[in-house]
Each structure stands twice: as C-alpha cells, then as structure tokens.
Amino acid sequence: MRYAVLFPGQGSQRVGMGADLFDARPDRLVDASDRVLGWSLREVCLDGPEEKLTATEHAQPALYALAYQLWTELSERVGGPPAAAAGHSLGEYTALAAAGAFSFETGLGLVDRRARAMADAVARVGSGMAALLGVSDEVARQVASDRRREGGRLWVANLNAPGQVVAAGALDDIGWLVGNARDLGIRRAIQLDVAGAFHTPLMEPAVSRLADALAGVGIRPLAFPVWANVTARPMAGSQVKEMLSRQITAPVRFGETLRGMADAGVDTFVHVGPGDVTAGLARRAARGCRVLVASSIAEVEEVADRLGRS
C-alpha cells in the first residue's frame, strides 16, 4: 500500500470547523497561531461570522493551520511517511510544511502574507471564478483563449478532474461565460462565491510581495515528495520558492497531479483537512484508487487504523 496525502485549498472553510483540534492542541492552534497572525484563529473559526471567515486573509491561514494539525495527529498514528503529498492551491503550503520544508509557524507566516497580498490584488479589479461542468480541459482553454483574443480577461484557473474545470477572470467575462455556456460547448457554468480571479494574471500584484516573504525563508530537505500545482510533478527543494511564486498566477493542475501519482504507484489518497473536496477530485481523477477522509480527530483515528491494516 502506497498512500498520498492531499490538503485542501480556500473554499473548504466553514464556521465551527476545528473545535476538536482547538481543544486538543491549544498550544499550537491558539498560542502559536495568534502570535503569528495577530488575531484569534479560534474565535474566527468557531464563531465567525461566515463573512469574516470566508475573507481570503482569514480563510487561508485558518485552513492551513487546521489541516496541518490534522496531519500532525495522523502522522503520530501512522508508522511511515506517505509516498507523496499535494495540496490544492493554498494546500501546497500545508503539504510542504508536512514534508518539513519549513516549520508550521514559518508556513503560517507565509500563508498570512500570501493571503493579504492576494486580497489586495483582488481589490484592484472586479473579478471572479466559475466552475465549468461537462467540458474537456482543451475546450475550456480554447474558450478562454478566444475570449482574450476578443479583448476579454478570462483564463483557466483550475484543472481539477475530468469534466471539472474552473475558469477565472473579470466579472464581465465570468458573466458572459455563465450566460453562454451551452453555446460554447460547456454543459453548465456556475459562478463561484469567491473573492476574485485566483491563479490568473490578475493576481500579478501579489507575486512580488510573496517573493519578498519567501526570500527570507530557508527551505529544508523534503521528507517525502510534494507535487507542484504548476508542473503536476514532484518538486525539488531548490524549486520550492519558484513554484510557490509561480503558483499565484498559474493554473492549478490538480487532476494531472492525481493521475500522475496513481501512475507512480499511489493506490490510496487521504484528504487531510476541513471538508472533503480533494477526496472528491481523487475519486474522479484516479478511479480505482482508495480514497479516505481525515477532517476531524475521530476520522484521523479511523484512517490511521485503516492504513495500519493495509
């Protein structure tokens, strides 16, 4: 049995998440996190309100912190390291911290600066994202390319799984896409409730700020392979900073990553963190593989037991 761990990105947050973790590890999820962030992680996660938790500058650090702590709980219960790891967008930071590239606190500081830089970039132009259902990667790319040739601002942002693509761009272009989906060869387009056009050139203002934050961070050797969103391949330690910088404006190639892991011998995927989004993507992109979910301490114990019996 070769298992890979998958960490979620922004969008998996919900008010009330992590109550068991805050009770189990207040030293890390209260003391350390509040010191790094300057605001109460516990209060925002447990009390919200939803609008506050959903804000990019709160959602990203919160998801990173909770997913990392769930990984810590899992790794303490499972004997050996995973065969590989990956994270969807923000989750790539969690995967790298889990692999030992940097400490939890260092990663939380990076995520905090990333989130604030992205929020500021979003504020510069009205933008959004739309989920495209029943469309191939190639058709989605062509639709976006054709729109840009006509003067629009539209890109493919996430290649998540077969038939599941996310496009992003200016609000006018997202509205056009949703309204004309069937005529464009897309079964359905659904505008997402997200702050802006992540993983597109509209996020370019955030790149230099993240690069400045990364410049002062030392990257340690990875304990296991972490697959990059940008390349859909394992990254070397020397590539970590480049991959994280490029990730801000480049599409997330998650479906390709999952298929590549399966081709490399991974037969079990474990979603580690709030929600279960990456588990659903693994079921679609790596059919035939076992998929498990660890979104609470109780589920961590179940997953550890199942991995131990494999």
The conformation of residue 198, written as its DSSP 8-state character, comes to T
Q: What is the rounded distance in angstroms from the CA atom of residue 58 to the CA atom of residue 300?
A: 25
Q: Which residues are catalytic?
A: 89, 199
The token duo for 224 is 């296991």
Output the CA–CA distances (angstroms, integers) from residue 226 to 26, 261, 303, in the order listed.
28, 10, 21
Q: Are 88 and 254 in contact (CB under 8 A)?
A: yes
Query: Nearest-CA neighbor of 118 among 40, 191, 203?
Result: 203
Pull the structure tokens for residue 107. Answer: 């990663």
188-191: strand order across its sheet: 154-161, 164-170, 127-133, 188-191
Rounded Cα gap, residues 201 and 203, in angstroms: 5
Gyration radius (Cα) of the chain, Å: 19
126 is written with which tokens?
Answer: 């009205």
Angstrom distance (rounded) from CA 115 to CA 57: 5
Q: CA 41, CA 35: separation in Å to the nearest integer?
A: 10
